[in-house]
Amino acid sequence: MYKIILILNVILTLCYSSDNKKLAQTGFQFLSVNSDARGGGMADAMTSSHNNSVSMFFNPAGLSRQIEFLDVNFSSNNWIAGIKHDAMSFSFSPKTGQYGCFGFSVLNVDYGELQGTMVWDNDQGFIDTDTFSPSALAVGAGYGKALSNNFSVGGHVKKAYQFLGRSVVPVSDTSNAVSNNVSNAVAVDFGTIYITDWHGFTFGMSVRNFSNEAQFVYDGFQLPLTFRIGGSMDILSFLPSVNEKHSLEFALEALHPRSYPERVNLGFEYSFRNLGHLRAGYLFNYDERNLTFGAGFKLGPLSIDYALTPFGVFDNVSRLSIGIAR
């Protein structure tokens, strides 16, 4: 019990004892946005909670906790400013996890259509060019393995691409040069999960987007490296008579990002017979969002989840996930 209290104290201390002046220091920020609806409803406090293919987007060690042989998940995230994030994950665990769990992931981002401009000698200083549609893509493979009944490890390697349209640069009075603005990078996620003997309290740690410096045209930049540490447990495990039909998961984690001040995510999930779920969460130290809400249900191998996050001056963010596990 005292160890768990100490862990929670460390999580809170990491958030509020830091220098809060880190801003806009990385590129490929789309790698920091999660599309999963269950996670969205619980304020993304999922470092120690997921146990299926979606774990690759939070903590790949969670793959080792997959019970079913096969898990497939599709998620769609209507992000701010009309940006569309879609994710797909697939994992399989042969011999009930004897050889670990293998997974594959795809993340696609559509930024919509934007108006291109070019520097010009006029009153405005520019003229309009053709419209363009920026996009991003990340494709990855993951693996998770339980080293004991309590301890698991996992990793996720991904190749990320970002296309930011074409640059039109005048090279003379009569001709222009056109170049594609494309960059790519290889990134690694890795993590651990430890399940204690005290009411199943689970402790997780992960590092996301570990990579060398990426290159865009002539400039180099870092990826959004993030360290996450957190814990979760079923609060109703203290009430065995109630715990047979009901569960109330509590999840708390701290984030140490390269680009932003330290943050804390707090999430709850109430479940009835593992068929219906209600979720809520709170995001600490974020600029435009704090409360999150979600719900979902499971019918046989099919699960459907939805999450809604009010986003301040932007429109609400909604996420929808459909999963099949068998």
Spatial neighbors of 45 by CB under 8 A, at least 6 apart, are: 39, 230, 232, 251, 252, 253, 265, 266, 267, 281
Which pLDDT belongs to residue 253?
Answer: 97
Give, in words, the CATH class of 2-325: mainly beta
The pLDDT tens digits of the residues spanning 65-104 come to 999 999 999 999 999 989 999 999 999 999 888 999 999 9
Mean pLDDT confidence for 59-67? 96
Dig out the tokens for 302 from the structure: 């099919």
- pTM confidence score: 0.88
Decide: 8 and 254 in contact? Cβ < 8 Å: no
Is residue 274 left, alpha or beta, with left meaning phi > 0 and alpha meaning psi from -120 to 50? left
* Whether pLDDT at 6 is above 90: no
**Annotated domain spans of the chain:** 2-325
Q: Are 103 and 56 in contact (CB under 8 A)?
A: yes
Whole-angstrom distance, CA of residue 137 vs CA of residue 80 = 18
Q: Compute the Cα dihedral for 75, 201, 263, 60 and give only its sign.
A: negative
The tokens describing 73, both together, are 């998940």
Confirm if 1 and 198 have CB atoms less than 8 A apart: yes
Of the listed ranges 19-23, 28-32, 283-287, the one predicted with least confidence: 19-23
The residue among 31, 38, 35 whose CA lies nearest residue 232 is 38
Residue 168 — pLDDT band, cuts 50, 70, 90? Answer: low
| Cα(231)–Cα(229) distance, integer angstroms | 7
Average pLDDT, the chain: 89
Token reading at 174: 């009569």
